[in-house]
Structure 1
Amino acid sequence: MRFRDGQWNVAEGFRLEYAEEVYRITKTPSGEGISLLCPTRKIMSRGDTLNTGTISVDIEAAFDGVISVETTHWQGAARRGPDFSLFPGGKPEVSSKITKSDKGTTLSSGSLSASVSGKDHTFDVSFHSTDSNKLLTTLLNRSVGLAYTPATSTPMQLADMRNFKHYIFTQTTLSVGESVHGLGERFGAFNKVGQKVNLWNADGGTSSDQAYKNVSFWMSSRGYGIFIDTPERVELEVGSERCCRVQTSVESQRLKWYIIHGPTPREVLKKYSILTGTPGSVPAWSFGLWLSTSFTTNYDENTVNGFLEGMKARDIPVEVFHFDCFWLKAFHWCDFVFDEDMFPDPKGQIARLKAEGTVKKVCVWTNPYLGQASPVFAEAAAKGYLLKRKNGDVFQWDMWQTGMGIVDFTNPAACDWFVGCLEKLFDTGVDSIKTDFGERIPSDDVQWFDQSVDPKRMHNYYAFIYNKLVYEALQKRYGKNEAVLFARSAVAGNQRFPLTWGGDCESTPEAMAESVRGGLSLGLSGFAFWSVDIGGFEGHPPPWIYKRWVAFGLLCSHSRLHGSGSYRVPWTVDNDDASDEGCSATLARWTHLKARLMPYLFAQAQAATRDGLPLSLRAMCIEFPDDPTAWTLDRQFMVGDSLLVAPVFEEDGTAQFYLPKGRWTNFFSGEVKNGPVWFTETHGFATLPLYVREATLLVLGKEGEKRTVYDYAADVEVRSYFAAEGTKAVLVDNTGAEVGVLEVGKDGEIAGKKALKGDYVVTVVSA
């Protein structure tokens, strides 16, 4: 939302008022902060206090290194829900300190401080590190304010607010060279400076400024992050209305956000995960290859069996088979019942597939919408389980499904009913749920069962309660760490319910690059696990795109073959090319590589869930925050701490990538390169730029390993890459429990090998 026309003029149709000075400072009721009373004009005499608005700015210590800032115009405005579920793991103790001097007032919360200038008739709040006074950002003159539209000419008009919109906004300063990242899964430029960003969940594909996963958190290259504590529509002007400021605005009477001090991205993400929740754990089997029927393709039991037999014949292990939309009868989406014409015995079929070993787990597509052609719609409508219009009608439209209604998850009875439907699927043998959609939630002319909620706040928040409900149902049936979603929509906190995928992308190299940017941005928003439609969702990928996407997709944390109107089994892409360069051989090769990487991947996954880090795609700036180039890199990523991946986007196999400072070893050839330098390489379909960071002990499954779940300490290969004293590798079992630690000692020998079993091998790749 732009409130100004350039730097000097107010935008047409708006009236603006700013916090012009700090008139009085008092303690907040909690005693852990300070409250600033800020008139919207400078108070030069007592008469100036009349007919003048004020803005309250409450600055409070949240916990070490985190401070909240809440800006309010009219305190009497109702506080309607829903609200983000903060501190799900418990709130840390708060230790605040308030100091006053002739220079001003400072609130300190551990490593982070906020200082309010003591100059007369001034509004100036700076946020800085407590120990070094390094400036992070500031709220300067005309950086906190309110806006009306249409513009008012007298306060008397506000006796009736029904025809006016009221906004509250803040503007934090951007320093020279500062970049901004995150804000959910965003597919545009990695650095958000210069962009207008609306946090409003939408089904816009991967080639627009809309996003399925809008997360109200952003990371600065300057050593801090900001979490905006509201699920309502947030509009940001990131160095766009004013080039040197990030403006955050909401249509409300209050706006609250938290500033989180790192100083490193790792520390920022760790503290952010304390606020909104650490990522949930995922089982080892979920890291294997997922195969989908695709969306609008024709398929039945024989088609599914043929796919899986074909994959097995081509030595491509499939861990999870996914039934997409048309497992359901047309016009019945989503009534949770297999189409009996196509699948006469789903329970028996699933049992046979598992018994034959062609697949270990099964996933089905669902969404929270009910088409009126299904008997389930009538049942849910009669019992009051569907969202209603203000006049009492069930909310319906013909978008997506004819006459569809939306399950009202603010109704506890509707939640119980929905879980009951899921449990019937679990009884059929279904192990995982693809929770599609959840973005197109109306915010006007609707009445929720819980009438205390604000429909505009429910639009985004619906993704949270929808995915939470399904995830917890899976946990109840299969165990705490065995639950896996495949979700499309998300908000802050959804990282607790893994996992998510990137949505509808095209079958082009540009779309693959868009997907990389989306995964990087979501990772910087606190999500550990992420996947993508390998080959692209829309269109028919040419063989070279398919094979390049296979290499990229198998190095994401999770890997799924999925399309729209065309299948993604490899032999349909290249007329069953049986050569070593064919799609089938390429898919088999990269699937096997991921299986070998599982001892490393699963150990890194445990650290990612503990610390709120992305496993893959991990932005380079997380590992190399002091390298300015790392903050610009949007065509490569880290997998965990030690592996660097640069997907290939060119048909001729060329790839340009950057290696930060240090020695890097090519995983495939053993060639060593020194950074910081840009490199260009040419790759066939069997390789891509995959480099191992120095000071790494990389634990791999044995040569030829094709399974995803096995003993990650037995018969392994331990590769040493310039592993100096203190280099470590954590060993975990296939439940994620730590079973040992390998560590290089002063003598260069590796201690902890007693935890290894069988015929393990230690290879010094680089000395």
Structure 2
Amino acid sequence: MKFTDGFWLTKEGFDIQHPRNVRDVVINENTVTLYAPCKDIQHRGDTLNLPSLTIQLSSPMKNVIKVKAWHHKGTRTQSPEFDIKNELLPLECEQNEEQTILNSGNVSVNIQHKPFKITFTQGNQVLTSIDSKGVAWIKGPEKESYMRGQLNIGVGEYLYGLGERFTPFVKNGQIVDTWNEDGGTSSEQSYKNIPFFLSNKGYGVLVNHPEKVSFEIASEAVSKTQFSVEGECIEYFLIGGETPKDVLTNYTELTGKPALPPAWSYGLWLTTSFTTDYNEETVTHFVDGMAERDIPLSVFHFDCFWMKEFEWCNFEWDKDAFPEPEAMLKRLKDKGLKICVWINPYIAEKSKLFDEAAENGYLLKKANGDVWQWDLWQAGMGVVDFTNPAACEWYCGKLKGLLDMGVDSFKTDFGERIPIDVVYYDGSDPQRMHNYYAYLYNKVVFDLLEEEKGKQEAVVFARSAAVGSQQFPVHWGGDCNATYESMAESLRGGLSLSLSGFGYWSHDIGGFENTASPDLFKRWLAFGLLSSHSRLHGSSSYRVPWLFDEEAVDVTKHFSKLKNRLMPYLYSASVENHNTGVPVMRPMLLEFAEDPNTHVLDRQYMLGNSLLVAPIMNEEGVGSYYLPQGKWTHYLTKEVVDGGTWRTENYDYLSLPLFIKENSILAIGHDDDRPDYEFANNVTFELYQLQDNQQATAFVTDINGNIKGEIKAVKQNNSIHIETSMEGLTYSILLAGYENIASASAGEVDSSRDGVRVNLNGSQKLDITL
């Protein structure tokens, strides 16, 4: 929200008060509290009739500084609040007449008393600072109150994140209000609003407010990022880290690490699509058609019309289309498939469950006690009140019946159209609940899946999210169009989401609205099957590849099988995400923060820490991409090229820019028919462009994420020393790009099209002479 009229003036009707100096400092074991009047104090008379701001600094964990500022402290605390780590650490403080200094890990805070200024440093680097206007209480034209924070933006500093945003990847110059809305992928609205941004200078900021937060990012004041909330208090966390990866690790330590999705969820998901006509015969035709064409399929998803129209949600199969659902699900599962069904948190008036939910107080109410209803989406629908424990138990009971029937996962659609003119069971503030509702909704469903299926099997396909929702993967990008422009905006949304703490992300291959051309569909297939999760889904038309053309069948099969072979590598990236919060699908700047050329790239990404993907987004088949410094190997052709430059080439539909960075070891699997197999047995460790005296490492897990083996390799001149920990396992080491070697101290050696292979058993120390 803007409060000024240019640089000099305040907007009419607003009064901005900000501290001039620090009058008093109170240091306790784990807080430093500043009392800062909004006027220069020259004599005792100046202490009368003026506002004063109180600013409190603390640290909930190392390298994280909590900043809380208020005008009037007596305002009632409202719920909900983000579920974050908030136990305060003891502080290291120094103080003299001019300044107060406090430290948390490598992050230091220098508080200048007069004139007021706070500077945040990490090591010897200034991260950002708060000047005299950087904390403000603002009175509006209707006597409403706002609190504003401002942080200075340095030269060359870029900011990212704020949830899944389809606007430009670099957020400088943008105005963002964090308010969940169902706006598709072609507007400034977002399904997943996260009041957290990441800076390429090595810090992030989480504004700790579930309600709407208004961000002005180098827009109202072009050298500052500004965030404001209505009320008398503002609270945010400045999160440090030696690298952008470290910042995300600290952020997810604060707000929750992502769960580890089941390995099967990485395979291809196929849906009925949305408004298409379908029944069991249609579903069986699709599933058998994929098998007949040798296209690996992991999950079949039933979209909305598995239930009777006008009755969403009643959690009952439409018996006209699916007369024997239990038998049908068994037949599908006997084909090796997992089953997902669509749900949402709304109960239509025609649903047999509406009266039961209304009578028991399970739906949101108006202030007069009536059930809140409207006709948008479903006629007369009400909204489940997940602040009511009995409503949660009731809702889960309906889902449990589906799990008992054979369903494995739920697509948790919607959760954004949440009204604010309502009363919650627990008295929560509707403004604060609007975004937070998405967290509660998905948590209820995810927790049920963990309880019924086990922690290793729980996965949802979620659209809405709030802070902390990264704990409940997977999330997809909502309603995109069948255009190259929408393909690009979808990728921007996914990259922004990944810099907001989310490890996994998917999208509707080929676009949701309308029907893609065969050209676009085939290019989107390569992109979709080289994302963390992959789904074929549409609105009014089917998405089986043979309806586009026969080449689309070949492309689907090619990239599905490629992804399955990549599973040992991808699942190790999942384990990394589960432990560190570093996303599986990540912007280039996370891997190459030292290269400023990567800081603006939004049409390519890293899949894991070694594999670069640059989807083709044009009818000409031109791949244009940037490779950072180093030797890069094209994964499909094994061509080695030098980085540090932009490259442009033409690609057919069975290829795209897919490069492995130097000094990488990829764990590649033996099975291309499914994503969930024994990754560690018969795995191939592929070594790419090892550099002298640099250690390369990799590990391989089982399908539950337990590490089963590791490899370390060091190249020195013409020899490579390798140590493996692979007790009881058979595996291979492939030296990619070599036609022959002089010798290997162990194992059987043979040559292949891709390089020299050494076949081994058990843990080994191996020396290879090139």
Q: Following TM superposition, by how much is the alpha carbon of 1:493 offset from its aligned partner in structure 2, in angstroms? A: 0.3
Counterpart check, 1:571 vs 2:585 = no
CA contact (8 A) 2:476 2:506 kept: yes
Q: Secondary structure at the match of 2:84?
A: coil
Counterpart check, 1:256 vs 2:232 = no
Q: Following TM superposition, by how much is the alpha carbon of 1:95 offset from its aligned partner in structure 2, in angstroms? A: 4.1
Q: Secondary structure at the match of 1:584?
A: helix
Alignment partners' CA distance in 2, 1:550 and 1:435:
24
Query: What are structure 1's unaligned runs of at least 5 residues?
Result: 151-162
CA contact (8 A) 1:62 1:109 kept: no
Q: 1:446 to 1:754 in 2, by over 3 A?
A: closer
Q: Following TM superposition, by how much is the alpha carbon of 1:675 offset from its aligned partner in structure 2, in angstroms? A: 1.6
Which residue pairs with 2:392 in the alignment? Answer: 415
Which residue pairs with 1:144 in the alignment? Answer: 135
Q: Following TM superposition, by how much is the alpha carbon of 1:12 offset from its aligned partner in structure 2, in angstroms? A: 2.3
CA contact (8 A) 1:717 1:763 kept: no
Alignment partners' CA distance in 2, 1:344 and 1:525:
44
Per-residue CA deviations over 1:316-368 (Å, capped at 9, x if unaligned) read: 1110000000001000011111101110111110101111x2x4200000000
Alignment partners' CA distance in 1, 2:728 and 2:633:
25
Which one of 730, 749, 754 corresponds to residue 721 of structure 2?
Answer: 749
Q: Following TM superposition, by how much is the alpha carbon of 1:23 offset from its aligned partner in structure 2, in angstroms? A: 1.4
Amino acid across the alignment from 1:486: F
Counterpart check, 1:488 vs 2:463 = yes
Q: Following TM superposition, by how much is the alpha carbon of 1:144 offset from its aligned partner in structure 2, in angstroms? A: 1.2
Alignment partners' CA distance in 1, 2:135 and 2:725:
59
**Which residues of 2 match residues 152-191 of structure 1 at below 5 A?**
164-191=143-170
Q: Following TM superposition, by how much is the alpha carbon of 1:253 offset from its aligned partner in structure 2, in angstroms? A: 1.0
Which residue pairs with 1:369 in the alignment? Answer: 346
Alignment partners' CA distance in 2, 1:288 and 1:705:
10
Q: Following TM superposition, by how much is the alpha carbon of 1:726 offset from its aligned partner in structure 2, in angstroms? A: 2.2
Amino acid across the alignment from 1:468: K
Alignment partners' CA distance in 1, 2:475 and 2:133:
39
Alignment partners' CA distance in 2, 1:528 and 1:348:
36
Alignment partners' CA distance in 2, 1:44 and 1:499:
58
Q: Following TM superposition, by how much is the alpha carbon of 1:13 offset from its aligned partner in structure 2, in angstroms? A: 2.6
Alignment partners' CA distance in 2, 1:525 and 1:412:
29
**Which residues of 2 match residues 275-424 of structure 1 at below 5 A?**
275-355=254-334, 357=335, 359-424=336-401
Counterpart check, 1:450 vs 2:426 = yes
Which residue pairs with 2:83 in the alignment? Answer: 85
Q: Following TM superposition, by how much is the alpha carbon of 1:629 offset from its aligned partner in structure 2, in angstroms? A: 1.1
Counterpart check, 1:110 vs 2:99 = no
Counterpart check, 1:266 vs 2:238 = no
Q: Following TM superposition, by how much is the alpha carbon of 1:626 offset from its aligned partner in structure 2, in angstroms? A: 1.1
Q: Following TM superposition, by how much is the alpha carbon of 1:764 offset from its aligned partner in structure 2, in angstroms? A: 3.1
Which residue pairs with 2:16 in the alignment? Answer: 16
CA contact (8 A) 1:714 1:756 kept: no
Counterpart check, 1:98 vs 2:131 = no
Q: Following TM superposition, by how much is the alpha carbon of 1:102 offset from its aligned partner in structure 2, in angstroms? A: 4.3
Percent identity between the two aligned chains: 46
Which one of 503, 514, 525 corresponds to residue 528 of structure 1?
Answer: 503
Alignment partners' CA distance in 2, 1:408 and 1:288:
34
Alignment partners' CA distance in 1, 2:81 and 2:726:
49
Which residue pairs with 1:40 in the alignment? Answer: 38
Alignment partners' CA distance in 1, 2:148 and 2:442:
30
Which residue pairs with 1:511 in the alignment? Answer: 486
Alignment partners' CA distance in 2, 1:5 and 1:100:
38
CA contact (8 A) 1:599 1:712 kept: yes
Q: Following TM superposition, by how much is the alpha carbon of 1:700 offset from its aligned partner in structure 2, in angstroms? A: 1.1
Tell me the C-alpha RMSD between the 2 structures.
1.4
Alignment partners' CA distance in 2, 1:94 and 1:454:
30
Q: Following TM superposition, by how much is the alpha carbon of 1:753 offset from its aligned partner in structure 2, in angstroms? A: 6.2
Alignment partners' CA distance in 2, 1:7 and 1:244:
11
Q: Secondary structure at the match of 2:619?
A: coil
Q: Secondary structure at the match of 2:423?
A: coil
Alignment partners' CA distance in 2, 1:718 and 1:263:
30
Q: Following TM superposition, by how much is the alpha carbon of 1:92 offset from its aligned partner in structure 2, in angstroms? A: 7.6
Q: Secondary structure at the match of 1:306?
A: helix
CA contact (8 A) 1:195 1:239 kept: yes
Q: Secondary structure at the match of 2:627?
A: strand
Which one of 687, 696, 704 corresponds to residue 735 of structure 1?
Answer: 704
Counterpart check, 1:199 vs 2:178 = yes
Alignment partners' CA distance in 1, 2:535 and 2:560:
11
Counterpart check, 1:54 vs 2:48 = no
Alignment partners' CA distance in 1, 2:106 and 2:312:
52
Which residue pairs with 2:216 in the alignment? Answer: 237
CA contact (8 A) 1:715 1:761 kept: no
**Which residues of 2 match residues 598-677 of structure 1 at below 5 A?**
598-616=567-585, 618-677=586-645
Alignment partners' CA distance in 2, 1:203 and 1:342:
29
Q: Following TM superposition, by how much is the alpha carbon of 1:303 offset from its aligned partner in structure 2, in angstroms? A: 0.6
CA contact (8 A) 1:463 1:491 kept: yes
CA contact (8 A) 2:297 2:674 kept: no
Counterpart check, 1:540 vs 2:515 = yes
Per-residue CA deviations over 1:653-700 (Å, capped at 9, x if unaligned) read: 101100011111011111111121111111000000000011111121
Q: Following TM superposition, by how much is the alpha carbon of 1:14 offset from its aligned partner in structure 2, in angstroms? A: 1.6
CA contact (8 A) 2:687 2:733 kept: no
Which residue pairs with 1:154 in the alignment? Answer: none
CA contact (8 A) 1:64 1:95 kept: no
Alignment partners' CA distance in 2, 1:706 and 1:765:
26
Q: 1:245 to 1:696 in 2, by over 3 A?
A: same
Amino acid across the alignment from 2:573: Q
Alignment partners' CA distance in 2, 1:95 and 1:181:
31
Amino acid across the alignment from 1:589: H
Which one of 679, 685, 704 corresponds to residue 712 of structure 1?
Answer: 679
Amino acid across the alignment from 1:128: T
Alignment partners' CA distance in 2, 1:426 and 1:409:
20
Using the size of structure 1 for normalisation, the TM-score is: 0.94
Query: What are structure 2's unaligned runs of at least 5 residues?
Result: 739-769
Q: 1:753 to 1:446 in 2, by over 3 A?
A: closer
Alignment partners' CA distance in 1, 2:612 and 2:512:
26
Q: Secondary structure at the match of 1:391?
A: coil
Alignment partners' CA distance in 1, 2:608 and 2:505:
13
CA contact (8 A) 2:110 2:120 kept: yes
Q: Following TM superposition, by how much is the alpha carbon of 1:762 offset from its aligned partner in structure 2, in angstroms? A: 2.5
Alignment partners' CA distance in 1, 2:723 and 2:435:
50
CA contact (8 A) 2:442 2:469 kept: yes
Q: Secondary structure at the match of 2:285?
A: helix
Alignment partners' CA distance in 1, 2:685 and 2:447:
37
Task: Please list every run of at least 4 consecutive aligned residues from structure 1 whose deviation after the TM superposition is greater than 6 angstroms.
Answer: none
CA contact (8 A) 1:517 1:635 kept: yes
Mean Cα deviation higher: 7-16 or 454-463: 7-16
Q: Secondary structure at the match of 2:736?
A: strand
Using the size of structure 2 for normalisation, the TM-score is: 0.94
Per-residue CA deviations over 1:624-648 (Å, capped at 9, x if unaligned) read: 1111111100000000110000000
Q: Secondary structure at the match of 2:155?
A: coil
Alignment partners' CA distance in 2, 1:310 and 1:553:
20
Q: Secondary structure at the match of 1:668?
A: coil
Q: Secondary structure at the match of 1:742?
A: strand
CA contact (8 A) 1:138 1:172 kept: yes
